[in-house]
């Protein structure tokens, strides 16, 4: 089946009895009972399928896991309570029984950097950083550090650089390292990292997968060989997604290919308009032929689409001018997330990268005048009108 068909059908229509629900229902039970104790014993022993305790598995959550694994071309998935729980679980799985060392992309989501530097590093993890878009330097760092795992994002947050995942995977595997990829900015509708050589792919389902601003959750997808360690970790740590969140995510995924197509079309129009605006200093958009990673985008992304994210810098703007622009917006939502049906904008220095020191932000190229826009699926004329009126009115303030 092709991806749009899998998005609609995968995971659904399990037969619990002499009927088949058209969509997977919400199973809210914490525990499950069987006709006789021998059946429960076989379930606990793995001799027959079936739920027994919600921390060990939930039918609604398992349906979502099957759906997303199918979209990513993976053998199995583990849904979690948040994207950060998913990336933590993925790193632990990649490091189990291996050297406690990671080479990570030097520009990552702020909380991922915090996880590495303030949680895992004090616990004994050796962390190195390198630019995955500079393959020579990245390979040199991997060769020197000899990590157990390499951690990159499909699109960096918030400067929207696109890592050449296929080349990164070749480098990592040549040096015995696993590849963990955060694909929250792309979704399987744009890129399937496992097919590019990744070992574990992670999503914040809060973003494009669920897509409607009503779910907090995460998911990781990988190969069958990781099933034993992931089972131990997930059952022991208990980062489970709830059944209601799984239900909402499944519903969102069904329209993912359609939404992504519209996100990408709108983002392309918005980036082009902002690039020509006199109040904009610089636009970051992977779909722009002038983007430094545009050739990687054309090679790896479905249809060569540039994604639904656009970052831009306001010309000669400090915090006061940035806030004036944000407050002038009437339709675009000023909130911390991305991938929703509605357009959303945030100020990374204030929000996603707030915990980083000013010198660190400067090294990463994240300045006070930078804004990150998640372009929604509204009529693009309305998005453009709101941005332009906000740029005009804030310049007069």
Give me the pLDDT at residue 44, please.
Answer: 86
Give me the pLDDT at residue 93, please.
Answer: 97
Q: Residue 122 pLDDT > 70, yes or no?
A: yes
C-alpha 166: how far from its chain's center?
18
Mean pLDDT computed over 329-358:
86
Q: Where are the domains of the chain?
A: 3-253, 256-396
Backbone angles phi, psi at 114, to 5 degrees: -65, -40
354 or 104, greater pLDDT = 104
Q: How far is CA 12 from CA 29, 165, 259, in A?
A: 19, 31, 20
Q: Residue 255 pLDDT > 90, yes or no?
A: yes
| Residue ranges in the chain assigned as alpha helix (H) | 3-9, 37-44, 59-72, 83-95, 110-114, 135-145, 165-174, 227-237, 243-253, 256-275, 294-300, 319-328, 358-364, 380-396
Lowest mean pLDDT among 26-30, 224-228, 257-261, 350-354: 350-354
Q: For residues 247 and 26, what is the distance between their CA atoms, to the nearest angstrom?
A: 6
Active site residues: 55, 109, 182, 207
Mean pLDDT computed over 270-283:
96
Instruction: Find the distance separating the first CA and the last CA of the chain, reported in whole Å.
Output: 54
Q: For residues 56 and 386, what is the distance between their CA atoms, to the nearest angstrom?
A: 47
> What one-character DSSP code corresponds to residue 302?
G
Lowest mean pLDDT among 6-20, 38-52, 215-229, 283-297: 6-20
Mean pLDDT computed over 314-343:
94
Q: How far is CA 87 from CA 42, 202, 358, in A?
A: 32, 6, 25
Handedness of CA 328, 331, 336, 338 (dihedral sign): negative
Mean pLDDT computed over 12-23:
75
24 or 137, greater pLDDT = 137
Give me the pLDDT at residue 204, please.
Answer: 97
CATH number of 256-396: 3.90.1150.10
Token pair of 201, please? 């792919």
Cβ–Cβ under 8 Å, residues 213 and 340: yes
Q: Which tens digit of pLDDT belongs to each residue from 294-307?
A: 999 999 999 878 99
Q: Residue 127 pLDDT > 90, yes or no?
A: yes
Q: Which tens digit of pLDDT belongs to each residue from 173-223?
A: 999 999 999 999 999 999 999 999 999 999 999 999 999 999 999 999 999
Mean pLDDT computed over 296-323:
92
Cβ–Cβ under 8 Å, residues 152 and 129: no
Give me the pLDDT at residue 1, please.
Answer: 84
Q: Which tens digit of pLDDT belongs to each residue from 83-119?
A: 999 999 999 999 999 999 999 999 888 889 889 999 9
For the chain, the average pLDDT equals 93
Give me the pLDDT at residue 361, please.
Answer: 73
Residue 9 — very low, low, confident or very high, per pLDDT cuts 50/70/90?
confident
pLDDT > 70: what percent of the chain?
96
Q: For residues 181 and 252, what is the distance between their CA atoms, to the nearest angstrom?
A: 22
Residue 354 — very low, low, confident or very high, per pLDDT cuts 50/70/90?
low
Give me the pLDDT at residue 351, please.
Answer: 64
Residue 353 — very low, low, confident or very high, per pLDDT cuts 50/70/90?
low
Q: Which tens digit of pLDDT belongs to each residue from 60-74?
A: 999 999 999 999 999
Give me the pLDDT at residue 50, please.
Answer: 87
Give me the pLDDT at residue 345, please.
Answer: 97
Q: Residue 334 pLDDT > 70, yes or no?
A: yes
CATH of 3-253, one of 3.40.50.970, 3.40.50.150, 3.50.4.10, 3.40.640.10: 3.40.640.10
Q: For residues 395 and 211, what is the distance between their CA atoms, to the nearest angstrom?
A: 33
Residue 17 — very low, low, confident or very high, per pLDDT cuts 50/70/90?
low
Token pair of 76, please? 């199995």
Give me the pLDDT at residue 251, please.
Answer: 96
Give me the pLDDT at residue 12, please.
Answer: 82
Token pair of 177, please? 């390292």
pTM of the shown model: 0.92
Cβ–Cβ under 8 Å, residues 179 and 152: yes
Q: What is the DSSP string of 178-230?
A: EEEEE-TTT-TTT--GGGGT-SEEEEETTTTTT-SS----EEEEE-GGGHHHH
Give me the pLDDT at residue 15, please.
Answer: 67
Q: What is the DSSP string of 16-47?
A: SSS---SSPPP---SB---SSHHHHHHHHTTS
Q: Residue 138 pLDDT > 70, yes or no?
A: yes
């Amino acid at each position: 089946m092709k991806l749009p068909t899998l998005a609609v059908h995968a995971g659904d229509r399990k037969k619990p009895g002499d009927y088949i629900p058209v969509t997977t229902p919400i199973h809210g039970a914490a525990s499950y009972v069987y006709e006789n104790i021998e059946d429960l014993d076989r379930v606990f022993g793995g001799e027959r399928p079936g739920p027994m305790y919600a921390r060990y598995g939930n039918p609604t959550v398992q349906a979502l896991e099957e759906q997303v694994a199918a979209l990513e071309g993976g053998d199995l998935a583990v849904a979690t309570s948040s994207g950060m729980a998913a990336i933590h679980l993925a790193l632990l799985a990649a490091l189990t029984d291996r050297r406690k060392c990671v080479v990570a992309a030097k520009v990552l989501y702020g909380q991922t950097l915090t996880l590495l530097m303030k949680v895992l590093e004090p616990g004994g993890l050796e962390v190195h950083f390198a630019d995955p878009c500079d393959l020579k330097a990245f390979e040199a760092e991997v060769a020197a550090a000899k990590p157990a795992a390499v951690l990159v994002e499909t699109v960096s947050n918030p400067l929207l650089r696109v890592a050449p995942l296929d080349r990164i995977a070749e480098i990592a595997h040549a040096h015995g390292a696993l590849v963990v990829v955060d694909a929250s900015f792309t979704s399987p509708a744009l890129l399937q990292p496992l097919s590019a050589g990744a070992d574990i792919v992670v999503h914040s389902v809060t973003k494009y997968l669920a897509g409607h601003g009503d779910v907090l959750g995460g998911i990781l997808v990988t190969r069958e060989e990781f099933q034993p360690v992931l089972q131990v970790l997930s059952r022991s740590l208990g980062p489970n997604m709830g059944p209601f969140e799984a239900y909402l995510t499944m519903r969102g995924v069904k329209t993912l290919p359609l939404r992504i197509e519209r996100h990408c079309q709108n983002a392309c129009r918005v980036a082009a308009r902002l690039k020509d605006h006199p109040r904009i200093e610089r636009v970051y958009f992977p779909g722009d032929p002038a983007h430094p990673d545009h050739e990687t985008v054309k090679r790896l992304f479905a249809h060569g689409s540039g994604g639904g994210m656009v970052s831009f810098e306001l010309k000669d703007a400090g915090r006061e001018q940035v806030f004036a622009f944000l407050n002038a917006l009437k339709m675009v939502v000023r909130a911390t997330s991305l991938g929703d049906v509605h357009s959303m904008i945030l100020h990374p220095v204030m929000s996603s990268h707030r915990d980083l020191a000013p010198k660190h932000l400067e090294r990463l190229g994240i300045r006070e005048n930078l804004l990150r826009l998640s372009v929604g699926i509204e009529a693009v004329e309305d998005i453009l009108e709101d941005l332009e009126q906000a740029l005009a009115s804030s310049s007069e303030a």
